[in-house]
Amino acid sequence: MSGHSKWSTIKRKKGKADAERGKIFTRLIKEITVAAREGGGDPDGNPRLRTAIAAAKTANMPADNIKRGILKGTGELPGVSYDEISYEGYGPAGVAIYLKCLTDNKNRTVAEVRHTFSKYGGNLGENGCVAWMFESKGIVLVDKSICDEETLMDIVLEAGANDMILDNDNFEIETGPNDLETVRATLEEKSIPMISAEVTLIPQNTVKLNEKQAESMLKLYECLDELDDVQNVYSNFDIDDDIMNKLMG
């Protein structure tokens, strides 16, 4: 999981700001709606919806919001129809950037994405130009104060996890994308609370940035992440801890 610990730290810091603005709820509702539309409103038979609901509960989303998102997806309540679309490109120093979006207007989305890339020193590329650099994995975070390392390791490996490392104050558990739900459900059964549990894209290699490049890249990342239609931003940049702490505070 080379480079992922730093990347997850950046995402968590950004996630706190998203939570304060309520943006995380908007993203989760979109994902619940699309998951219900694609696979039906029963989470028992819809793994994507089950994972989305679990993420919403972890974020303390009210049950009524979750229910409305499902009903909009199944058509039982009126709602916007979202299309899934991805964009790929490059940032400073040739860093790879992969975006996952949910949008009701593809023309608006591509225009906003292209403008943001151009404004902050990046380039929007063709489909497939960087996707091959990323691998889909499940990542679960558990506060290290919740459980001792040996016990937790035994539990998650028995449930099908691939690995577990200590990332600052958290245990970071890696699974295959299809094993995430089993690991998450096992931790729930054991009454072990999770900070997050998601299928994400992990870079297979990273690009080390100096301070100037890192400052530009973090600005580009932040601005792409702020776009309403963007659900997730993935990248393969690597930043030394001292530079990251200086830039992110």
Same domain? For 45 and 12 the reply is: yes
CATH number for the domain harbouring residue 25:
1.10.10.200
The answer to whether residues 210 and 107 belong to one domain is yes
Calculate mean pLDDT across residues 22-47.
92
Average of per-residue pLDDT across 58-80? 92
**pLDDT > 70 fraction of the chain, expressed in percent and rounded:** 91
Residues 214, 113, single domain; the answer is yes
- Is residue 161 domain-shared with residue 115, that is, in the same domain? no
- The number of distinct structural domains making up the chain is 3
Domain residues for the domain of 168 are: 134-203
Looking at the structure, do residues 180 and 143 belong to the same domain, yes or no? yes
Cβ within 8 Å of residue 235, ≥6 positions away? 7, 91, 95, 96, 97, 98, 203, 217, 221
Q: For 210-239, what is each residue's pLDDT tens digit?
A: 999 999 999 999 899 989 999 999 999 988
pLDDT at 31: 95
**Measured distance CA(175)–CA(180) in Å, rounded:** 6
Q: Are residues 141 and 191 in the same domain?
A: yes
Domain check: are 54 and 159 in the same one?
no
- Strands (E) in 144-240, as ranges, are 163-167, 170-175, 196-203, 207-209, 230-235, 237-239
The CATH number that applies at residue 185 is 3.30.70.980
Last residue of a domain, one of 33, 50, 74: 74
pLDDT digits (tens, 9 = 90+) for 197-218: 888 999 999 999 999 999 999 9
Question: Is the same domain home to 69 and 160?
Answer: no
Q: Are residues 211 and 91 in the same domain?
A: yes
Q: Nearest-CA neighbor of 141 among 31, 17, 8, 10?
A: 8
pLDDT, tens only, 155-197: 999 999 999 998 778 899 999 998 998 999 999 999 999 988 8
pLDDT per residue as tens digits for the range 96-124: 999 999 999 999 999 999 999 999 999 99
- Is 138 in the same domain as 198? yes
d(CA 129, CA 222): 21
- Please name the helix (run of DSSP H) or strand (run of DSSP E) that holds residue 217, with its range, or none: helix 211-226
Do 144 and 197 share a domain, yes or no? yes
Average pLDDT over residues 56-82: 91
* 91 and 213 part of one domain: yes
User: How are the residues of the chain apportioned to helix, strand and coil, as percentages rounded to the nearest 5?
Assistant: 50, 25, 25
